[in-house]
Amino acid sequence: MKNDLIRYSCQIALPGFGKDAQVALRQAKVLIIGAGGLGCPSAQYLAAAGIGVLGIADFDTVSLSNLHRQVLYTPSDVGKLKVIVACQKLKQQNPGITLVPHDVRITSDNIIDIIQQYDIIIDGTDNFETRYLINDACVIAGKPLVYGAIYQFEGQAAVWNVTNADGSRSPNYRDLFPKVDETQIPNCADGGVIPTIAGIIGCIQANEVIKYITKAGELLAGKMMLFDALNMQSRVVKIGKVSRTQITTLMQTTDTPTMSVSQVKQGLTNNTLDLIDIRTDQERDEVDIGGIHFEADEIDDNTDYLINQKVKVLYCSSGKRSGEAVKIIREKHPQAKVYSLAGGLKAWFEDTD
């Protein structure tokens, strides 16, 4: 305890914080889902603050294009599992806390079992299917959820599903966004992102977790903070005090049928598949690796072509837009031989074969 008093002396000295708040942090269990641009700064500051148990869930590996915003990783970590690297480095940062790696893809089959082990959850993901899944699972399990999202120069943060004094629950993600057409919204890899916005929003998420655990200040519950790093402006939008949604079951997640870069290149050599670029015209003009081109919102206009007998591989910048498009096509036409290029153009240009 003496070492703790020295290590955490600056935060213990805060008005209204004290030793009791530090004990609360030491006894807390926090799960971060996604060890990327948001998860890295959130994890670093929560580890530094002395969170007792810090779980990190991710199944991805470090790639070169991650390094400008995912500040836990270095070039020597490329190709390694993010969650393992993150836990190793955070343990070095603070040996007095417990790090729990969850090297799994979060799905409808495992999410409840995983989040039940923790007091509060941070959403550091960058795709809408997982975001909705985490939100719904936290509502069903009664867990507060700290939300964050970034795109280009802008970021958002909120705290969902907090228990109010009367036993009701504060709004969740579906109160604000009941349903989103995710094929129309690019992620960081597709639309770009300034690295500092990841640090800003990730730190805000960590800040809300510390406030929740120590009962300090006013949470971003029932409201959302919007931040514009380009103009250095922020505002808080009020949503309401009580959730109006009813969530009783989890959406079922499905694996996206994919092909690796090497499989696609072999198929192109053998003329056994067609490559389809579903990016925008502007993206196509900037980078073109061949194949047929039509945008994601033109998929329905090309249904007859997409469901004929020849294999089709869709691609975008990161594999996320094409992955969602493949899911939609297969839901409507189960017989369609459509796949997504795993990792998108990022993986294509990183391939050394």
User: Residues 86-131: pLDDT tens digits?
Assistant: 999 999 999 999 999 999 999 999 999 999 999 999 999 988 889 9
**DSSP count for the chain of H helices, then E strands:** 15, 13
Indicate if 304 and 199 belong to the same structural domain.
no
Measured CA to CA, the distance from residue 347 to residue 342 in angstroms comes to 7
- For residue 1, name the pLDDT band (cuts at 50, 70, 90): low
CATH number at residue 60: 3.40.50.720
Specify the range with the lowest mean pLDDT, choosing from 157-161, 227-231, 288-292: 288-292
Distant-in-sequence, close-in-space partners of 1: CB < 8 Å, separation ≥ 6: none
Measured CA to CA, the distance from residue 260 to residue 51 in angstroms comes to 39
DSSP secondary structure of 269-289:
HHT-EEEEE-S-HHHHHH---
pLDDT at 127: 83
Q: Does some domain include residue 249? A: no
Among 179, 208, 238, identify where a domain stops: 238
Question: What is the pTM assigned to this prediction?
Answer: 0.82
**Average pLDDT for 134-156:** 96
User: Could you give the residue numbers annotated as active site?
Assistant: 188, 316
Indicate if 102 and 219 belong to the same structural domain.
yes
CATH number at residue 303: 3.40.250.10
pLDDT at 289 over 50: yes
pLDDT at 324 over 90: no
CA distances from 346 to 97, 190, 309 (A): 35, 10, 28
- For residue 60, name the pLDDT band (cuts at 50, 70, 90): confident
pLDDT at 186: 55
Indicate if 19 and 69 belong to the same structural domain.
yes
Q: Does some domain include residue 247? A: no
> Where does the chain show beta strands of DSSP type E?
29-33, 53-57, 98-102, 120-123, 145-151, 154-160, 223-228, 233-238, 258-259, 273-277, 292-293, 311-315, 338-341
For Cα atoms 79, 84, 90, give the angle at the middle one, nearest 5 degrees: 120
**Average pLDDT for 31-48:** 97
Among 207, 238, 269, identify where a domain stops: 238
Indicate if 142 and 215 belong to the same structural domain.
yes
293: containing domain: 258-350
pLDDT at 183: 47
For Cα atoms 182, 283, 316, give the angle at the middle one, nearest 5 degrees: 45
pLDDT at 223 over 80: yes
Measured CA to CA, the distance from residue 213 to residue 326 in angstroms comes to 41
The 273-277 sheet, strands edge to edge: 258-259, 338-341, 311-315, 273-277, 292-293
Per-residue pLDDT reduced to its tens digit, 9-31: 999 999 989 999 999 999 999 99
Q: Does some domain include residue 228? A: yes
pLDDT at 150 over 80: yes
Structural domain count of the chain: 2
Which secondary structure element, helix H or strand E, spans residue 5, and what is its range? helix 2-7
Q: Does some domain include residue 301? A: yes
Measured CA to CA, the distance from residue 244 to residue 240 in angstroms comes to 9
Q: Does some domain include residue 252? A: no
For 282, the token pair is 């502007």
**Average pLDDT for 197-212:** 98
Whole-number percent of the chain with pLDDT over 90 = 71
pLDDT at 129: 85
Indicate if 313 and 274 belong to the same structural domain.
yes
